[in-house]
Amino acid sequence: MPALRELLDENPDLAWRLADLAKAAENVLIGELTKRGEHPITEEALRRQLAAMREEVAGEDPSPLEKLLAERVIATWMQVQVFDSLCASELGKPYTREADYHQRYLDRAHRRHLSAIKALAQIRKLGPAVQINIAEKQINTAG
């Protein structure tokens, strides 16, 4: 363990590559959308689309908080897509509890997606904040 800790101390992004829970969840959702490898072209296209969305949503020079919120926007977007496809598969069929279950989950996923978008927008609206201490008096300014 000491050697592993030293390696991780020397390479902080290695920990993210080895244990990226967000990426693991994303892989599960991609698997759900692409039927677990049955559609490799769709899977690759989706991964590229998500990468482009990440850049677009995060924007230029995002803060660490903006990066986290942008990731959340992407994750919730994927959840909406999964439940939307499940609801679409129930269209034209008689009402079932399963259809109702999927619709409720879609509604919840959509609310979480809008909440993530709103949080990101609020952080951006605040802009970079600067705190200055002059003669023991605190002055907060927005950039």
pLDDT for the residue numbered 84: 92
Give the dihedral of Cα atoms 129, 132, 137, 139; nearest 10 deg: -30
Tell me if 26 sits within 8 A of 47, measured CB to CB.
no
Q: What's the pTM?
A: 0.76
pLDDT for the residue numbered 135: 63
Enumerate the domain spans of the chain: 2-142
More confident residue, 142 or 40: 40
pLDDT for the residue numbered 116: 97
Tokens, residue 108: 């919840």
Give the dihedral of Cα atoms 57, 58, 61, 62; nearest 10 deg: 140
Mention every residue, 6+ apart, whose C-beta is less than 8 A from residue 67: 58
Tokens, residue 83: 């439940």
Tell me what percent of the residues of the chain surpass a pLDDT of 70. Answer: 89
The half-sphere exposure of 66 on its side-chain side, counting CA atoms within 13 A, is: 18
Tokens, residue 13: 């992004």
Tell me if 106 sits within 8 A of 87, measured CB to CB.
yes
Residue 120 reports pLDDT greater than 60: yes
Tell me what percent of the residues of the chain surpass a pLDDT of 90. Answer: 48
